[in-house]
Structure 1
Amino acid sequence: MDLRAERTNDRDSVRDVHLRAFGDHGTVVADLVETLRETVDPLSLVADDGGQVVGHVMFTRSLLDAPRQLVEVQVLSPLAVCPDRFRQGIGSALVILGLKILTERGVPVVFLEGDPGYYSRFGFAAGGDQGFRKPSLRIPDGAFQAITLPAHQQWMTGTLVYSEPFWQHDAVGLRGCCPSFILQMKASPVLPMGGVWEGPARWSRTGP
């Protein structure tokens, strides 16, 4: 298994990973990925197994509105693994590599929306308990998580401000009238579509 940066010729395969992982709803995720890729210069990593892309994670720039000044931070979203490769540690490996790279780049904080039972293994914890405020009241408190990296300083607290693509795709938190698949993902320990999108608007209870 080769974990590496996404290449231009991987784009169709990355889109296919999201379409396969999320069925009819994969288009929403895939479209978000394409917009993020074109607008915010993401860290986009893939799991390549013999020339086939079987997993993908994206980290993108957002801002922390801290009292002293705006701080550039990163958001982990989305994370997806092909259904036939689920629960093989692929998603975990992608997250670990991404955090290592961001640490080396001097990123102070990484945020996400996801299952604390899954992401706590990487060091993520409730953002509210660390002095951070979520960008929308529609985000469940338990889903709003952050990990502080070595570059973080004590004064770096405040409100997370998502980059424009998340708002453009209405991909922040949960709406009052949630699609049935979101409700399934919140209620069931097994995802209905065999993959995960751990990020804004999709809070599952499992990870890859």
Structure 2
Amino acid sequence: MADLLSVNLGVPRSSPATRVGVTGIDKRPAEGPVLVRAPGPKGTGLGSGVAGDRILDGGHHGGDDQAVYAYAREDLDAWAAELGRELPGGVFGENLTTHGLDVTGALVGERWRVGGEVVLEVSVPRIPCNTFAHWMAEQGWVRRFTERAAPGAYLRVVRTGEIRAGDPIEVVQRPGHDVTIGLAFRALTREPELLPRLLAADALPEEALAKARRRVAAAG
């Protein structure tokens, strides 16, 4: 069974790569239970869906469609082997470090129950940015991360509650389309010819769906 290895909260760090000069990408495992709730609109709401987490650049991060970010321990381990360095949970800026769950293969719109209360909905892949590249300090990091196409998933909060390390994760609902996080990421980055396929996933944020519609309109 899939489970939650850690719940990670941001520690503010200075960053010349962000317009606000500070970032919450450095996330560290929390002790004890952590409240998860819908944060509201990007830029005007609570920012993160994880209480105690910090979203410092609210214009580009956070909000209901990016309330919680999950990354698989298995993918972190693959990166650690390639980079030759330890990658602790939270180092990619993820709120949830998962185990036994195919995050890249998750369908947009599928729902996960975490612990006994919380229900999260897969929303959209994470797109790497300059802040991430600066934090990782690896040559060509954005290109390498994009080529790997294992981006992790942003999640919406469907049902509020508390979560903690060790909680089971269960996929409780899957939509009928075939649009995975991996496919959506490829379409939104290096393979725009895949964009029309995203229209089958109406749980994608409107910005991604609009990009797919423009591709279809241009082709027609």
Fold shared by both chains (TM-score > 0.5): no
Output the TM-score relative to the length of structure 2: 0.31
Larger helix fraction of residues: 1
Output the TM-score relative to the length of structure 1: 0.33
Larger Rg belongs to? 2
